[in-house]
């Protein structure tokens, strides 16, 4: 059993970022317009969806297909995608009523609620398994958490999902902050050159990038964190104020219904040709330039949608409990809290 280490530096940064915005917003949080966003001109109920990364990624396949495939429109929704600068800003905006929905990592949600008592709740889980990967080279591979000892791992930003992922993985091997160094690097496949040059030992990337790197660099070694930890999934998050409002609750149910219909359409499209065309017609997504790589990657994303084994978008109580325990182990949140109160599957059930 691992003895909890002293608070991590990234924990302090994450809390500081959330605290600065949340304290201000909690004091001045007012009512939001139904739907939580500006009208998009489509004639349906306006909904603003905050994506913390650029939408041009297979990560957002369910939302893109729901929009481009007409599933949102069939539910009477006019969903507008709006990119934000990170999860903290997205959560703050949702609390303030500037947007109805965002999609953040499970641990970021737990920091907001368990660490800062933010009035938000998870209400669906589009990705039930981490889609991040750790890429290293064959001459000094990282194949298991114990291999992280003494290594320098590249991450895209401090205090975010990637750093939390590395710390959580390290904790499973009994390692602490002192055993693993983190260094901020980019996200592009070209960052692998830093690994080859020995400037870093590995780096954290999205699944799209990991597949691309392995195609370009056959000696690259890819560690899938989901084989070890439960954390690193993504959830839909809204404000508790919205959940308490019957009109906005209805919008959230329709949002889930549209996303689930989009996921089902992608799953049914086994060749994935129609899905790739829909995605490519809607956005310039780099990985679509190599259809074989895109198909391989998308099939892994599809597996992540169904990994919980309890149905699309449903948050698994047992997996959620494991994520909380992992978050406590790396001191992201205090122990002894009832994390089951931080999410609901009720809207999903009503959307069946």
Do 306 and 249 lie in one domain? The reply is yes
Do 118 and 237 lie in one domain? The reply is yes
Q: Which residues contact 46 (CB under 8 A, 6 or more apart)?
A: 33, 35, 37, 38, 39, 40, 78, 80
In a domain, 32, yes or no: no
Range of the domain at 242: 45-128+233-341
Do 116 and 238 lie in one domain? The reply is yes
Pick the range with the lowest mean pLDDT from 14-18, 101-105, 125-129. Answer: 14-18
pLDDT higher than 90, residue 128: yes
| Overall average pLDDT of the 13-38 stretch | 38
Do 53 and 199 lie in one domain? The reply is no
227, 257, 292: which is the final residue of a domain?
A: 227
pLDDT higher than 60, residue 35: no
CATH number of domain containing 120: 3.40.190.10
How much of the chain, in percent, has pLDDT values that exceed 70? 86
Do 214 and 238 lie in one domain? The reply is no
Kindly give the residue spans of alpha helices, DSSP state H, lying in 34-160.
61-68, 71-74, 87-96, 106-110, 116
Give the confidence band of 187 by pLDDT, cuts at 50, 70, 90. Answer: low
Joined together, the tokens standing for residue 155 give: 């991450």
pLDDT for the residue 124: 97
Do 61 and 209 lie in one domain? The reply is no
Do 118 and 152 lie in one domain? The reply is no
Instruction: Considering only residues 37 and 67, tell me which one the structure prediction assigns the higher pLDDT.
Output: 67
pLDDT for the residue 12: 52
Do 141 and 122 lie in one domain? The reply is no
pLDDT for the residue 310: 87
pLDDT higher than 50, residue 256: yes
**257, 351 Cβ separation under 8 angstroms:** yes
Do 244 and 220 lie in one domain? The reply is no
| Overall average pLDDT of the 63-92 stretch | 94
Do 337 and 245 lie in one domain? The reply is yes
Question: Tell me: the pLDDT tens digits for 188-205?
Answer: 667 889 999 999 999 998
Do 334 and 238 lie in one domain? The reply is yes
Count of domains for the chain? 2
Q: Which residues contact 320 (CB under 8 A, 6 or more apart)?
A: 106, 339, 340, 343
In a domain, 3, yes or no: no
Do 221 and 237 lie in one domain? The reply is no
In a domain, 31, yes or no: no
How far lies 218's CA from each of 100, 136, 204, 213, in Å? 43, 11, 17, 8
- pTM listed for this prediction: 0.84
Q: What are phi and psi of 176, to 5 degrees?
A: -120, 180
In a domain, 313, yes or no: yes
């Amino acid at each position: 059993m691992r003895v909890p280490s002293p608070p991590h530096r990234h924990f302090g940064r994450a809390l500081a970022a959330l605290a600065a915005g949340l304290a201000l917003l909690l004091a001045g949080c007012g009512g939001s317009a139904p739907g939580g966003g500006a009208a998009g001109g489509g004639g349906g109920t306006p909904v603003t969806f905050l994506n913390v990364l650029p939408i041009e990624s297979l990560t957002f396949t369910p939302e893109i297909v729901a929009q481009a495939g007409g599933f949102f429109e069939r539910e009477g929704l006019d969903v507008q995608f709006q990119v934000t600068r990170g999860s903290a800003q997205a959560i703050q905006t949702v609390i303030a009523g500037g947007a109805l929905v965002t999609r953040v990592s499970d641990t970021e949600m737990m920091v907001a609620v368990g660490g800062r008592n933010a009035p938000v709740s998870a209400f669906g889980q589009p990705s039930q398994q981490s889609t991040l990967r750790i890429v290293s080279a064959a001459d000094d591979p990282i194949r298991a958490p114990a291999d992280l000892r003494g290594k320098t791992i590249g991450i895209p930003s401090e205090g975010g999902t990637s750093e939390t992922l590395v710390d959580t993985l390290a904790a499973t091997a009994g390692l602490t902050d002192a055993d693993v160094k983190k260094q901020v690097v980019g996200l592009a496949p070209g960052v692998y050159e830093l690994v080859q040059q020995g400037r870093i030992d590995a780096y954290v990337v999205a699944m799209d990038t990991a597949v691309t790197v392995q195609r370009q660099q056959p000696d690259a070694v890819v560690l899938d964190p989901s084989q070890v930890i439960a954390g690193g999934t993504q959830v839909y998050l809204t404000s508790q104020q919205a959940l308490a409002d019957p009109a906005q609750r209805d919008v959230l149910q329709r949002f889930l219904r549209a996303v689930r219909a989009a996921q089902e359409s992608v799953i049914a499209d086994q060749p994935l040709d129609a899905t790739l065309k829909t995605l490519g017609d809607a956005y310039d997504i780099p990985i679509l330039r190599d259809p074989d790589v895109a198909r391989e990657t998308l099939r892994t994303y599809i597996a992540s949608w169904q990994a919980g084994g309890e149905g699309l978008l449903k948050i698994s109580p047992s997996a959620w409990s494991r994520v909380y325990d992992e978050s406590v182990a790396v001191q992201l949140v205090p122990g002894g809290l009832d994390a089951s109160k931080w999410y609901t599957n009720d809207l999903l059930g009503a959307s069946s």
